[in-house]
Amino acid sequence: MLPVAGVQLATAAAGICYCDRTDIALIELSAGSTCSAIFTQNAFCAAPVTVAKEHIAQATPAYLLINAGNANAGTGKTGLDNANACCELIAAEMGCKAEQVLPFSTGVIGENLPVDKIKTVIPDLKLDLNPHHWQAAANAIMTTDTVPKGVSCQVSIANQVVTITGIAKGVGMIRPDMATMLAYITTDAKIEKPLLDQCLVNAANVSFNRITVDGDTSTNDACVLAATGQSNVVISELNVNDFQQALNKVAELLAKALVRDGEGATKLITIKVSGAENSRESDRVAYTVAHSPLVKTAFFASDPNWGRILAAVGRTGVKDLDVNKLEIYLNDVCIVEKGGRSATYTEESGQQVMQQTEITVDIRMNRGAASSTIWTCDFSYDYVKINAEYRS
């Protein structure tokens, strides 16, 4: 991952839940940066989400503090006090206001955050700050992730190079209504906050809001986009399209990495729906197929049980759906047409597709112009095992 001018990162092992790894990350943003964030729509949002919302409305963030192993969710007033206490500790050490610190947590819900453990390592975080510590930060924020997730992209704007680097975590309890469980993207471009807000929402809507592992939305979801301005490249309405495309690319790669590493996942599944009457309809069809346990387990087994996909589409409640117009493909293999199994389909061709690790389900409704694409994964034995033993 490429360093971003104006961004430094640090990590530490506080022993919050894990005894053999780092579990705290601190991201420092240079003076003059702008910052945007979007958060979970879960009504039972975690204490750090509440505090981060308050702080970003009051001041420009200078530090992002992330802990793994404890979600600080479902913890009431104590949780809010603990999140605020962590912000105050960072502010005292770094010489800023507490409102300039945004807290983020991920891990077990319902446990009080061990503030004393975090307090102990804050001096270490200050000493560890370095622009090259992206990989270390990606490792520190993981919970049930099996690999760290990070992406960099450079784009030429006004004949100058702009860098975008981001990290993310989250492989379970994933069906975001805003972003993913945790994601942090930074750039050295200079962007005023209203336009930065727009860029983040646009990027999330084509990436993090297009993924699902299990249909659950976390209490702690958060996505941050920060622009330091250190490259002196100004992004305005005149050149924002080039920047937006690069940002979308980073966000999409991070989102796909989350699904590819979904808890117990063995396959990345793209669900494409086209020819719907409107986007609400195409979304409904795509998510119904993606969330079907029968469909997801068939993919895990590499079983071309196309009837499960057909049944999922049929139960979406689409008004006046003409099944005789519907076409369904696995990659380029037509499995359904004219109300039943395609005349060209063979079990062997379906089996060949299902054995691949990346598969596209292409559903053509042929009743309108709207389309949707989302990414999901299969359900394996390990998904049940990981979540059954999560607190063990």
Tell me what pLDDT residue 22 has.
97
Please state the φ and ψ torsions of residue 263, each to the nearest 5 degrees.
-50, 115
Amino acid identity, residue 140?
A: A
CATH fold of the domain at 268-388: Ubiquitin-like (UB roll) (3.10.20)
Tell me what pLDDT residue 179 has.
59
Active site residue ranges: 180
Tell me what pLDDT residue 313 has.
94
Amino acid identity, residue 218?
A: S
Tell me what pLDDT residue 218 has.
84
Residue 136 tokens read as: 């270390």
Per-residue pLDDT of the chain (392 residues; tens, 9 = 90+): 999 999 999 999 999 988 889 999 999 999 999 999 999 988 889 999 999 999 999 999 999 999 999 999 999 999 999 999 999 999 999 999 999 999 999 998 999 999 999 999 999 999 999 999 999 999 999 998 999 999 999 999 989 999 999 999 988 777 777 655 799 999 999 999 999 999 999 999 999 999 988 877 788 999 999 999 999 999 999 999 999 999 999 999 999 999 998 888 899 999 999 999 999 999 999 999 999 999 999 999 998 888 899 999 999 999 999 999 999 999 999 999 998 899 999 999 999 999 999 999 999 999 999 999 999 999 988 888 887 876 65
List CB contacts of 19: < 8 A, sequence separation 6 or more. Answer: none
Please state the φ and ψ torsions of residue 146, each to the nearest 5 degrees.
-100, -20
Please state the φ and ψ torsions of residue 359, each to the nearest 5 degrees.
-130, 140
Longest dimension (CA), the chain: 71
Residues of the chain with CATH 3.10.20.340: 268-388
Residues of the chain with CATH 3.60.70.12: 7-260
Partnered with residue 64 across adjacent β-strands are: 27, 102
User: Can you tell me whether residue 321 is helix, strand or coil?
Assistant: coil
Give the E-state strand segments of the chain in sequence order: 7-12, 24-29, 34-39, 63-70, 101-108, 149-157, 160-169, 182-187, 222-227, 268-276, 327-330, 333-337, 340-341, 358-364, 370-377
Q: How far apart are CA 179 and CA 43, in angstroms?
A: 15
Residue 215 tokens read as: 């249909």
User: Can you tell me whether residue 338 is helix, strand or coil?
Assistant: coil
CATH number of 7-260: 3.60.70.12
Q: Rg of the chain over CA atoms, in angstroms?
A: 22
Exposed, middle or buried by CB within 10 Å (0-12, 13-18, 19+), for 336? buried
- The closest alpha carbon to 286, from 314, 313, 265, 260, belongs to 313
